């Protein structure tokens, strides 16, 4: 029997407001959308829920407002089996929200109002050092203050806990952040903003990965949507093709991938097998609408045959 993965997630918790739309609007354009729903989200919460559904024990650090969304989001995490002792409820800040238009083909764009998420402090993380030091993997993203991200990475590194940084939304990072990161998982747009400072640069995956690793990251996993995942190996750049599925909504694909990777590594899979496990989780996530509702259960991933 595989050991139960022990994962800590430090990150954002949002309520997603999802609108079906025939197309994503361009600057100055108004588009008449379709159905509108509210769905629990936030990159941190999505990754926590995904890891829990994949069989891990998950502890989450975060902040919510003491509003109706905050209580709904806290209850949702608890129902997903996530330990919420380190989530603070703040009376003076609204819970984070995200507006997400989604097209029929599954394309989306996201605007986030972080609210209480930006009140998660390094002190909150330091008070939970005993939790982090006993984890197999720490997962962080960039929808919370960067000083808090650094504090979490620093504590994990101190205790030899594997660190995974999903650099979304992409922003300028210090040398210390890169050096504290064992695995970074940008998508192609994020990777170019980080490596070149310009999303218009026409770099291939080899150059992009090499530049990010030159900055100090242990290993870069470049997620490329339908083109799969690229990462460095002993033979250069390894490409794991994407599984062929019918795409409905890509919102949580990256979160499912990160969680799958963390669970795979925590369960002592080889790196290559952990990446393939993560790719299967991501593929299943895009076949359903919504962020957290789309995240697959462990049984679904284990029984899924990836056809490339």
How much is the pLDDT for 1?
Answer: 59
- Is 134 part of any known ligand binding site? no
pLDDT at 102: 85
The reply to whether 16 sits in an annotated binding site is: yes
Q: What is the pLDDT of residue 100?
A: 86
Residue 192 pLDDT: 83
The angle at the Cα of 131, spanning 5 to 276, to the nearest 5 degrees, equals 25
Q: Return the pLDDT at 110.
A: 83
Give the torsion through C-alpha atoms of 1, 271, 181, 197, to 10 deg. Answer: -140
Q: Which CATH number fits domain 6-296: 3.40.1190.20, 3.40.1310.30, 3.40.50.1100, 3.30.200.20?
A: 3.40.1190.20
**Mean pLDDT in order along the chain per 10 residues (308 residues):** 86 93 92 90 96 98 97 98 98 94 84 95 97 98 97 98 95 93 92 73 78 90 90 87 90 94 97 96 92 94 92
For the full predicted model, state whether its pTM sits above 0.85. Answer: yes
Q: Is 249 annotated as a binding residue?
A: yes
- What's the pLDDT at 196? 66
d(CA 60, CA 40): 15
Q: What is the pLDDT of residue 197?
A: 66
Does 28 appear as a known binding residue?
A: no
Under 8 Å CB-to-CB from 267, ≥6 apart: which residues? 2, 3, 5
Distance separating alpha carbons of residues 180 and 182, to the nearest angstrom: 7
The CA dihedral of 252, 254, 259, 265, to the nearest 10 degrees, is: 160
Q: Which of 123, 255, 273, 302 is catalytic?
A: 255
Q: Among positive and negative, which fits the CA dihedral 228, 208, 180, 61?
A: negative
Residue with tokens 């979304």: 168
The number of beta carbons lying within 10 Å of the beta carbon of residue 156 is 27
Q: What are phi and psi of 163, to 5 degrees?
A: -110, 130
Report the pLDDT value the prediction gives residue 150, as an integer from 0 to 100. Answer: 98
255 catalytic? Reply is: yes
Give the per-residue pLDDT at 117: 98
Centre a 10 Å sphere on the Cβ of residue 209 and count the other Cβ atoms it contains.
24
């Amino acid at each position: 029997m595989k050991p139960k993965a022990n994962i800590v997630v430090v990150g954002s918790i949002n309520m997603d407001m999802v609108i079906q739309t025939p197309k994503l609007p361009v600057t100055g354009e108004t588009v008449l959308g379709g159905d509108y729903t509210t769905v629990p989200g936030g990159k941190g919460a999505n990754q926590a829920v995904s890891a829990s559904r994949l069989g891990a024990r998950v502890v989450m650090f975060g902040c919510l407002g003491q509003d109706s969304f905050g209580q709904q989001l806290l209850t949702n995490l608890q129902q997903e089996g996530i330990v919420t002792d380190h989530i603070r409820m703040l009376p003076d800040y609204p819970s984070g929200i995200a507006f997400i238009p989604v097209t029929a083909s599954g394309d989306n764009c996201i605007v986030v109002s972080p609210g209480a998420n930006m009140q998660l402090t390094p002190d909150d993380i330091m008070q939970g050092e005993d939790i982090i030091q006993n984890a197999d993997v720490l997962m962080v993203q960039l929808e919370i203050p960067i000083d808090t991200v650094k504090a979490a990475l620093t504590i994990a590194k101190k205790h030899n806990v594997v660190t995974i940084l999903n650099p979304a939304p992409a922003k300028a990072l210090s040398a210390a952040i890169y050096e504290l990161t064992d695995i970074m998982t940008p998508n192609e747009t994020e990777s170019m903003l980080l490596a070149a400072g310009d999303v218009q640069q026409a770099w291939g995956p080899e150059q992009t990965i090499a530049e990010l690793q030159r900055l100090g990251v242990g290993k870069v996993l470049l997620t490329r949507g339908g083109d799969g995942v690229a990462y460095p190996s002993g033979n250069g750049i390894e490409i794991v093709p994407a599984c062929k599925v019918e795409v409905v909504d890509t919102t949580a694909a990256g979160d499912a991938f990160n969680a799958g990777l963390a669970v795979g590594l925590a369960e002592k899979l080889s790196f290559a097998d952990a990446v393939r496990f993560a790719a299967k989780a991501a593929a299943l996530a895009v076949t359903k609408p919504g962020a957290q509702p789309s995240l697959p259960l462990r049984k679904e991933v284990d029984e899924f045959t990836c056809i490339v």
